[in-house]
Chain A
Amino acid sequence: MKSQHALKLLLSIYIFVFFAYLFGPLIIMSITAFNSAEFPAVTPWECFSWRWFTEGKVTYDGQRLAGLLADTKLHDGILTSLRIALGVVALSVPIGMAAAIVLTQVNSKLRTLFYSMAIMPVLFPGVVIGISTVVLWDRIASMTGGGAMADIGRNGVFLTILAQTCFISTYCFLIFVARLQRFDKTQEEAALDLGASQTQVFFKILMPYLMPAIASSAVIAFLYSFENYNTTVFSILSDQTLTTVIASKVRLGISPAISALALVIIAITLTAAISYEVLKRREEKRLAKIKQMQLHQAMPSERLMKNQKTGSRLPKSMFLILLICFGVIAGGNYLASNNLYGEKCIMAADEAKKSNFADQLKLLQQNVGNEGATTPQSGPTTGSQGFNNIFGDPNLFKNFGGFDSKTE
């Protein structure tokens, strides 16, 4: 028995560590979004600031680090991603639905083949799907010579929609298959028997039944499309989506603006998850109530009516929310009282840096004067190079330069 307790304790610790691993990096990243320093860090903490969500910052050496609101490239990327995602939803939901319905109609031999075919795209590496789409359409475009077909074949948004639809349709397909497994086919027969045409059966019986699957597959397709990188990076060609913008930003140097973006996405996801959960619980409660009412009707016994708890009972989650509010207030108070928030703090920090920078510049000029050498690698001369020594590896941002240097 004692070993059982030890095991349980061990398990609890493990679960805690696991979730800390899962959430820790995200939480830390979220915190760095509020640090006014141009490198995403928790320490040293400069000032609490919203600047990465808004206009960003012009550094002491004149480099412009755009915040979320000011980043037009990012906005364009988001718009492109939105267009692609809508296109993918419009294609993959009907495709997945059609495939799942037909799967229920074919005989068992054909079904295995068809099913394997339909799920294959998920097992393909994303890059492969992107590449195969691009090479095919490039060929089509060059074969047709010029004109509309060539334009389409070299249109990154169009190609990306096709490439993503290839595998996102499978996710939709699987959602529909799961829902259709529980479909009572006699409903279709009943509708037919009552005089409905096949088309009417589809729209009046099958579609309403599939509505939840349509909704969830649309959401899933949208999310998969929106966050896809591996396929998109090939098929988007010269355009930019949200993910390719993020990737190129990360490659060029990490900015707290990305943390801010991540935080926005986390907030949206959390809100969606929580509201979904709340809605689901409410629905479950409603169903339970109906069931109980039915039971009550069938057997009118007072004992069966559960004593509805009366009185004001606050849900436990309220305490959590209160705790968070309290934490935020205390934290804000701390930041304000220590002069770590607001214009003053930021100005002070910038001032300190500028003077620091000026000192270093002077030192540098002295060095240059003394040795007559070129700019040493260790000295922060420009903003982007200034990040280099953060990683202790001057070659880090040659990531893709590294590719270039590799030749046959």
Chain B
Amino acid sequence: MSADVELQNISINFGDFYAAKDVSVMIKKGEFFSFLGPSGCGKTTILRTISGFLEPSQGQVLIGGENMAGIGPNKRPTSLIFQNLALFPLMSVADNISFSLEVRGHSKADRRARAEELLGLVALEGQGDKKVHELSGGQRQRVAIARALAIEPEVLLLDEPLSALDLKLRQKMRSELRAIQKRVGITFIYITHDQGEALTMSDRIAVMNEGRIEQVDSCQAVYEQPKTPFVASFVGENNPFYGEVTACNNSRVEVLCDGNKFVADISGRYHQESKKLTIGQKIILFVRPESISIKNSKTKTQNSFSARLDSIEFEGHLQNLFLTTGPGMKVRLNVPNAEEISHLTAGQTMDLTFSAQKAVVLPEGNLAVD
């Protein structure tokens, strides 16, 4: 059984401080949904509200269409996987997994059978009698998942459960989590500050900032067509160019940024925000580092500008070039490692360009702070 989760105008305040403000989102049945945002953005608060540890100051949580107000965490059809996993150190692995059955008064044999079944699901067959501290980090992770799944919840909530693992294991667990979700077919709501995690696993992402949802979209849309400067700068790397609109219609926007004239193509279906722009409005134009390329010919094309190379950073599969434009804007671009750039030296001025399809123009607003 899987259920959809609907948050209706949720606000949570502690005195004057709003941990969440007017959050509304509809999470579909069987979806892998992520809340992505910097620490302190209120995503954990949202998760605790869904699981029932917090009552919203305003608004309501509906799970499977049912209002959850006044229903404690032990009565909700959700399971939470904690950031530190919160496995019970005094119990064996099997007892941990079957704890939810134990508190519901299931027989010992029942519990044992269910534990074995779930251990199979997470590839830990025969480890049921071990103590928690005898397991490795990744194994513990799987025990936590199995424990949360034992009562067959309709919604599984995950609070940055991978953050304690090292990089290799984290990447492995990502695909495992995704596979488990596909297998059990229930709604997963995942909380993370790591955009890589959110982008690789989720069906949809809600990007949060300062207690509000900035954008809810598919991974692709969030990355390619951010709706706010915050999303544009928080998800992935981005180069902001500040300027103002000089001309616009339904398919193109022309902007002037520090003397450079740029054009952005907004004919795509995602560009609802850009279509509302008016002439003279202050904007930020975003171009991803991988979308900027070095112009070799001297021919005049649209969206070209020049900048001085400050330094080159080698990152394995690609190389990062750090540049400064004439008016002092910092620009960063990625070049695949396969491309030959050894002729470039720091201090030289280069001509750069980007495609109008790859530029995003948004009304001016706050960027994510690094």
Contacts and interface: CB of A to CB of B under 8 A. Distances in A.
Question: In the complex, are there CB atoms of A and B closer than 8 Å?
Answer: yes
Interface of A: 184, 186-187, 189-197, 200, 204-205, 208-209, 290, 294, 297-298
A294 to B, nearest CB: 7
B100 A195 contact: yes
26 contacts: A184-B84, A184-B86, A186-B82, A187-B86, A187-B88, A189-B53, A190-B86, A191-B88, A192-B72, A193-B78, A193-B79, A194-B79, A194-B99, A194-B150, A194-B151, A195-B75, A195-B103, A196-B99, A197-B74, A197-B103, A204-B102, A204-B103, A208-B90, A290-B133, A290-B134, A294-B136
Interface in B78-104: 78-80, 82-84, 86-88, 90, 99-100, 102-104
A186 B87 CA distance: 9
Contact of B136 (A186, A191, A209, A297): A297
Interface string B45-79: 00000011100000000000000000011110011
Interface in B140-169: 147-148, 150-151
A195 B100 CA distance: 6
B80 A190 contact: yes
A200 B78 contact: no
A189 B136 contact: no
Contacts of A187: 86, 88
A38 B157 CA distance: 78
Contacts of B134: 290, 294
Given A197-B103, A204-B103, A209 B90 contact: yes
Contacts of B74: 192-197
A188 to B, nearest CB: 9
Interface residues of B, number: 29
A190 B83 CA distance: 11
Interface of B: 51-53, 72-75, 78-80, 82-84, 86-88, 90, 99-100, 102-104, 133-134, 136, 147-148, 150-151
A125 to B, nearest CB: 40
Given A186-B84, A186-B86, A204-B103, A193 B73 contact: yes
Contact of B100 (A194, A205, A208): A194
Given A190-B86, A195-B151, A208-B90, A298 B136 contact: yes
A380 B84 CA distance: 78
B249 to A, nearest CB: 53
A186 B44 CA distance: 14
A258 B219 CA distance: 83
A193 to B, nearest CB: 5
A184 B85 CA distance: 11
A187 B104 CA distance: 18
Give the interface SS of chain A, mostly helix, strand, loop or mixed: helix
Nearest to A287: B133
Contacts of B150: 194
B189 to A, nearest CB: 13
B1 to A, nearest CB: 15
B86 A189 contact: yes
Given A189-B73, A193-B53, 10 more contacts: A186-B86, A191-B88, A191-B99, A191-B103, A192-B72, A192-B73, A192-B74, A194-B148, A195-B75, A196-B100
A195 B53 CA distance: 13
A205 to B, nearest CB: 7
Contact of A205 (B78, B88, B148): B88
A297 to B, nearest CB: 7
Nearest to B100: A194
Contacts of A290: 133-134
A2 to B, nearest CB: 50
Contact of A194 (B72, B84, B133, B147): B147
Chain A CB within 10 Å, residue with most, of B73, B75, B82, B86: B86
A368 B100 CA distance: 92
Contacts of A298: 136
A204 B90 CA distance: 10
A192 B151 CA distance: 13
Contacts of A196: 74, 99-100, 103
A200 B133 CA distance: 23
A50 B82 CA distance: 64
Contacts of A208: 90
B137 to A, nearest CB: 10
B71 to A, nearest CB: 12
Nearest to A200: B103
A170 to B, nearest CB: 27
Nearest to A185: B86
A290 B74 CA distance: 35
A202 to B, nearest CB: 12
A189 B87 CA distance: 11
Given A189-B53, A290-B134, A194 B82 contact: no
Contacts of B133: 290
Nearest to A187: B86
A198 to B, nearest CB: 8
B69 to A, nearest CB: 17
